[in-house]
Chains A and B, each alone.
Chain A
Amino acid sequence: MPACIHELFVEFIVSVYHRHHHTYMHAFGIGLTGLVVALGYLMKQKNHHISLPLQLLLPRRFGITDSSFYVCGPALKDIKGKSPSLKFERRKKNTRPGILVRQLHIEEQLLRTSSENWCIINDGTNDPTIVMGFSGKPAELLEIESVLHDQVPVIRRFTGGGTVIVDHQTIFVTFICNKETVPDLQPYPRPIMSWSSSLYSKVFGGIGDFHLRENDYVFGNHKFGGNAQSITKNKWIHHTSFLWDFDVRNMAYLKLPKLAPAYRSARGHLDFICRLKDYMPRSTFIDKTVEAAGTQFSLRSLELEAVVTCSETEFRPSTRFLTNEELAAAAAAVSEQQLGLP
């Protein structure tokens, strides 16, 4: 069976009550599976009518062992005053290659085919993996010779933005929302970016001079979180890779990008980025992210056996690995260009 089916998502539904001159009800769900935490479900209320049921799930990760982690959570009372039962799911840490591509495929499919809202927290991948944005050019962004020699996987994702190298220490947080989900939010890059930064401001609460700077999450002028988005006709996705910690050696695979934010001031990788672990414990960050969502949404729990399986639908994701041949051809083209060859 496809690997996707075996991944269990524990779904949280965060319902939001947002009071304004109109009344809205929103629900997010956050689920955890394998290395993937959280699925969200939002409910929207239009014209004072609640159109979708309100279901929530709040998982708390107990701990991570070498081979497994536990997911469970205290479920808050639902709107009828009942207390949903606790749901426990134990899933082995996924050691299969390509787990990050699988997550990106799922995200892309949820963006393109799901009518619901989601929040996904992935607690890292395994092997160091380079992830380029939609328009990334390998020859401009990567030290291709080293990448090929060390067989570092390279992914081109469906969202925009720059290049990152991620590993088991990276934390990924993704929001996938219908355009009308967040009140008064225009579905364009800068408003969405601003909304996300306001949410994470609640997470960090003044720690480390956190702020959004030229579309990066920084402490002071050091980047620790990279953002990317994709906006469709009716939905948007905003996902972030947080540098919990990183291996200095991995940075050597990346070139200095031509399109760099002004605040980088031509600094090298190690002078430009910082580690989130120096500011907050890992579990605290994940818990506070859920808690921050809880300031806008109320949380419940829902468990799903599986969300989507790419192979079982007609949807074909665009995110993919770049082949060795493609990388080598890109490097060769640059060499020929430099030599003035046609």
Chain B
Amino acid sequence: MALRMWASSTANALKISCASKPYLSLSRCFSTVLDGLKYAESHEWVKHEGSVATIGITDHAQDHLGEVVFVELPEPGGSVSKGKGFGAVESVKATSDINSPISGEIVEVNSKLSEAPGMINSSPYEEGWMIKVKPSSPSELESLMGSKEYTKFCEEEDASH
């Protein structure tokens, strides 16, 4: 408490202010969120159909990342773990990790993305899918967000910055 008061006094004395925030994001207010999918806080989506789950990044993510120019994906036959990175996208001079919302075995990888990484921007939920996984722990899907919850999550995240 004393430290905070000291810090506050120092800030006042030095006239430190955060009134100017030129680095605030100017992202869109609304991104597309599809019903029927599950979502991770790191902005990946999962579509569970039968024994296979398809994974990609959301419209909110692609909008904030900018134009995707390169995608690095794993090979089929490998495995993914919930919350761990499995690949990366490059956009606007940045590489950004892609994290798997669930654990499982990779059964298919979207090879079209190597030639057309922009599909992630133009069709994040359809042609921009990244990997298909055979879930090892289907119960992990239960801990993910539904569409309404994820929409609220994105709104709160954008509003807090």
Chain A positions near chain B (C-beta within 8 angstroms): 17-20, 23, 25, 45, 48, 50, 54, 79, 133-135, 158-162, 182-186, 188-195, 197-198, 215, 227-233, 259, 295, 298
Contacts and interface: CB of A to CB of B under 8 A. Distances in A.
A233 B97 contact: yes
Given A186-B64, A190-B25, A17 B7 contact: yes
Given A50-B3, A189-B92, A231-B94, A18 B65 contact: no
* B7, B11, B22, B83: residue with the most chain A Cβ atoms closer than 10 Å: B7
B29 interface: no
B37 to A, nearest CB: 20
B7 A191 contact: no
A76 to B, nearest CB: 11
Contacts of B157: 186
B17 A19 contact: yes
Contacts of B22: 194-195, 197-198
Nearest to B42: A233
Interface string B54-85: 00000000001110011010000000000101
A17 B24 contact: no
B92 A134 contact: no
B93 A79 contact: no
What is the predominant secondary structure among interface residues of chain B facing chain A? mixed
A160 B94 contact: yes
11 contacts: A18-B11, A18-B18, A25-B4, A183-B18, A186-B24, A186-B157, A188-B94, A191-B25, A192-B94, A215-B93, A227-B93
B93 A133 contact: yes
Nearest to B97: A232
B65 A189 contact: yes
Given A188-B65, A198-B23, A48 B94 contact: no
A158 B95 contact: yes
Contacts of B7: 17, 19, 23, 25
A259 B68 CA distance: 12
Given A133-B93, A159-B94, 19 more contacts: A18-B11, A20-B18, A25-B3, A79-B3, A133-B90, A134-B70, A134-B72, A135-B70, A160-B91, A160-B95, A184-B18, A186-B161, A191-B23, A194-B22, A197-B22, A198-B23, A227-B93, A229-B95, A233-B99
Interface of B: 1, 3-4, 6-8, 10-12, 16-18, 21-25, 27, 42, 64-66, 69-70, 72, 83, 85, 88, 90-97, 99, 157-158, 160-161
A184 B21 contact: yes
A239 to B, nearest CB: 10
A161 B25 contact: no
Contacts of A45: 4
Contacts of B3: 25, 50, 54, 79
Given A134-B88, A160-B94, A194 B4 contact: no
